[in-house]
């Protein structure tokens, strides 16, 4: 009879942990956000809604141990599952921002009450013989289910329905009274030896890394395609999560909390480091789930099975603070890092390592001092020699070479070509044809996959470095029809300037024939005849006003960076136009400047506009710009 209760307790513990993880991962982190997108809630309102979720989670995590009206952990557990089920069902309603905020608060509050109650009294719902394996299997199964391909790719409605049904199952599985739960373990199987504040800081660092990497992957198409898209990737993630979770339980039992925290940090830090370069997304996709499952098992097991708390009340308070700080606050900070920076800075990895690794290293050195000293005496000279050989074989890259690497890593080849197609309109728009020998000499050739934006093979001769930088910061501001996203984040370090240097180096060799073709170009007679003054005004506002109006957004933002401020079309002067007494020549020159820009200045061309569009802008300019004095 006793063995049957123990088996039931272990199975119940696995189920309760797995259900909690599925609700958190597949509904709170995915389905609810997708549902908000369906409702048109985004940008600032979305941040408000998610802030309410965090507020609910933090407040109930801290209040759960102090709910005097619900002293029974069984009752609090059922209340937490019930709140999570209700939140999942309420997400089906046609919510506005206020309603979504209320549901988000309920999601956070339900999870806060549920998780803190579950981990505080987890020893009562685990197998007495193998409590850590109960946690390992529960965590691993939860992550496994969330990565099953058909479930992962299901609609938000299916995710919400599944979460609600599972949470209702959790209400049924939760013990009804103290007599129905297994015996509470008198002593944790493995005691943690760290101060509680340092344990909270270590878990916070790991959750921060996890959340930042998760957000970066989910919002970077190239990274997402290599991690969470495709059946093979999802099954791999599912299996890795399950194996790592069970391994974490075994490592906790054998070597303790310090070893697991150190291993989890090494896996997550390596994944974040590899994510800095999309070429290494595959190894990053393998390390990330391993690191997550390693620390997740420890996070669930710590309060009840590893803590040095002397009483159940102290254990409950520790659970509240651990999940409020590490579970909610650190998660929000990690998401903010991913959203604002787009990567995890290497310095932050170092700072997190200084929090997590020293205790484990201290224990290791205490027991293996002689071995470590001998290893260091052999390893340090070998590393120094290897570094010197590497530096000799790989001299420092120039900014242009580094910029080319940025061009490749950011996937610019997916939208831009570097190949002017012979005997096509490309020649007039983008420049002379490059020989095939020159293309083949590049390592690797960057002719591009497809062309959604302009060809860049000779962009350095058509665009100034300042214009390129302005365009990276806000493409739509300087090129009104651009669909390119902002790459302002590249300028938080040297990558942005290196990329500008690389593009500025792409100049080609202008031929006399090409210069002659540009100098004699004019809009076709049919285009001039069909030019429309109203269309020209609209095109001017779309492409030109940002620099040439006194209050243009680009002019005001970059005023201090221009070598020569763009001329105000209301006052002039104009150094590149024939006098007003030569209207035909003046019209043709204005059209050429509109089409090809002014080489050597920050004035870009608009090569992609049709002859009629150029003629329309020119017609509007002829009637609205200031008349020059003398021959200016």
- The whole-number average pLDDT for the span 414-428 is 80
**How many CB atoms within 10 Å of residue 423?**
7
Task: Report how far Cα 142 is from the mean position of its chain's Cα atoms.
Answer: 24
**What is the rounded average pLDDT of the residues 447-461?**
80
Taking 90 as the threshold, does the pLDDT of residue 471 lie above it?
A: yes
Q: 208-240: per-residue pLDDT in tens?
A: 999 988 888 877 777 777 677 778 888 988 999
Q: Is the pLDDT of residue 468 over 80?
A: yes
Which residues, including other chains, have CB under 8 Å from residue 520's CB and lie 6 or more apart? none
- Determine the average pLDDT of the residues in 520-525: 86
Write out the H or E segment, with its range, that includes residue 352. helix 346-367
Average of per-residue pLDDT across 471-492: 87
Rounded to 10 degrees, the C-alpha dihedral 592/593/598/602 comes to -150
| Cβ count within 10 A of residue 631 | 10
Region 411-420: mean pLDDT is 84
Residue 585 has pLDDT above 80, yes or no: yes
- What's the pLDDT tens digit per position in 235-293? 988 999 999 999 999 998 888 888 899 999 999 999 988 888 777 888 888 899 999 99
Q: What are phi and psi of 572, to 5 degrees?
A: 75, -155
Contact status, residue 458 vs residue 508, Cβ threshold 8 Å:
yes
Distance CA 468, CA 434 (A): 22
Residue 295 has pLDDT above 90, yes or no: yes
Note whether 503 and 456 are within 8 A (CB). Answer: yes
H helices within 485-605, ranges in order?
495-504, 512-520, 525-529, 533-543, 545-548, 553-557, 583-596
Find, among 63, 55, 112, 58, the residue nearest to 83 by Cα: 112
- The helix/strand/coil state of 626 is coil
Which segment of 155-169, 439-453, 606-620 scores lowest on mean pLDDT?
A: 439-453
Distance CA 120, CA 181 (A): 14
What is the pLDDT at residue 509?
63
Question: What are the chain's domains?
Answer: 1-186 (1.20.1250.20), 192-395 (1.20.1250), 399-512 (1.10.760.10), 521-624 (1.10.760.10)
What is the pLDDT at residue 631?
40
pLDDT digits (tens, 9 = 90+) for 77-136: 889 999 999 998 998 888 898 998 999 999 999 999 989 889 888 887 776 778 889 899
């Amino acid at each position: 009879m006793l063995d049957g209760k123990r088996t039931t307790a272990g199975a119940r513990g696995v189920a309760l942990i797995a259900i909690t993880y599925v609700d958190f991962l597949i509904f709170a982190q995915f389905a609810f956000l997708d549902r908000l997108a369906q409702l048109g809630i985004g940008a600032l309102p979305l941040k408000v809604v998610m802030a309410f979720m965090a507020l609910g989670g933090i407040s109930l995590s801290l209040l759960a141990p102090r709910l005097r009206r619900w002293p029974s952990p069984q009752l609090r557990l059922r209340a937490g599952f019930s709140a999570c089920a209700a939140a999942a069902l309420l997400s089906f309603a046609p919510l506005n921002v206020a309603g979504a905020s209320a549901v988000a608060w309920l999601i956070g509050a339900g999870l806060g009450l549920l998780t803190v109650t579950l981990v505080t009294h987890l020893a009562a719902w685990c197998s007495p013989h193998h409590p850590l394996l109960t946690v390992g299997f529960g965590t691993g199964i939860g992550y496994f289910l969330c990565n099953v391909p058909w479930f992962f790719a299901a609609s938000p409605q299916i995710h919400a329905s599944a979460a609600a049904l599972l949470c209702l199952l959790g209400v049924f599985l939760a013990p009804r009274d103290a007599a129905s739960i297994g015996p509470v373990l008198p002593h944790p199987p493995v005691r943690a030896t760290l101060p509680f504040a340092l344990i909270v800081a270590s878990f916070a660092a790991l959750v921060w890394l996890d959340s930042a990497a998760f957000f970066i992957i989910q919002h970077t198409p190239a990274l997402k395609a290599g991690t969470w898209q495709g059946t093979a990737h999802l099954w791999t993630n599912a299996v890795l999560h399950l194996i790592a979770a069970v391994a974490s339980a075994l490592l906790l039992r054998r070597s303790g909390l310090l070893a697991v925290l150190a291993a989890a940090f090494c896996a997550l830090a390596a994944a974040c480091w590899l994510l800095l370069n999309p070429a290494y997304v595959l190894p990053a996709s393998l390390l990330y789930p391993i690191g997550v499952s390693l620390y997740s098992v420890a996070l669930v097991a710590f309060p009840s099975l590893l803590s040095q708390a002397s009483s159940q009340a102290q254990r409950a308070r520790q659970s509240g603070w651990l999940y409020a700080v590490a579970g909610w606050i650190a998660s929000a900070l990690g998401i903010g890092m991913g959203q604002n920076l787009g990567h995890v800075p290497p310095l932050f990895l170092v700072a997190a390592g200084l929090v997590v690794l020293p205790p484990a290293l201290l224990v290791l050195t205490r027991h293996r001092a002689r071995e470590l000293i001998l290893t260091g005496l052999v390893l340090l000279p070998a590393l120094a020699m290897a570094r010197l050989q590497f530096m000799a074989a790989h001299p420092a890259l120039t900014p242009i070479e580094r910029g080319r690497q940025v061009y490749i890593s950011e996937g610019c080849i997916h939208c831009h070509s570097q190949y002017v197609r012979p005997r096509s309109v490309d020649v007039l728009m983008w420049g002379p044809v490059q020989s095939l020998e020159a293309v083949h000499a590049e390592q690797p050739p960057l002719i591009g996959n497809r062309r959604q934006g302009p060809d860049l093979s000779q962009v350095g001769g058509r665009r100034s470095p300042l214009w390129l930088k302005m365009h990276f910061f806000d493409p739509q501001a300087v090129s009104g029809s651009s669909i390119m996203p902002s790459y302002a984040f590249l300028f938080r370090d040297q990558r942005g300037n290196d990329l500008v240097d690389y593009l500025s180096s792409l100049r080609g060799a202008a031929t006399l024939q090409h210069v002659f073709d540009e100098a004699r170009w004019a809009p076709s007679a049919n285009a001039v005849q069909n030019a429309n003054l109203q269309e020209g005004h609209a095109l001017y506002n779309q492409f030109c006003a940002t620099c040439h109006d006194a209050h243009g957004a680009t002019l005001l933002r970059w005023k201090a960076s221009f070598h020569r401020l763009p001329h105000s079309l209301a006052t002039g002067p104009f150094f590149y136009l024939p006098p007003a007494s030569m209207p035909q020549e003046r019209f043709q020159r204005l059209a050429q400047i509109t089409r090809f820009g002014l080489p050597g200045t920050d004035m870009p061309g608009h090569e992609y506009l049709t002859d009629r569009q150029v003629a329309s802008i020119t017609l509007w300019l002829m009637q609205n710009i200031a008349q020059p004095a003398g021959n200016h």
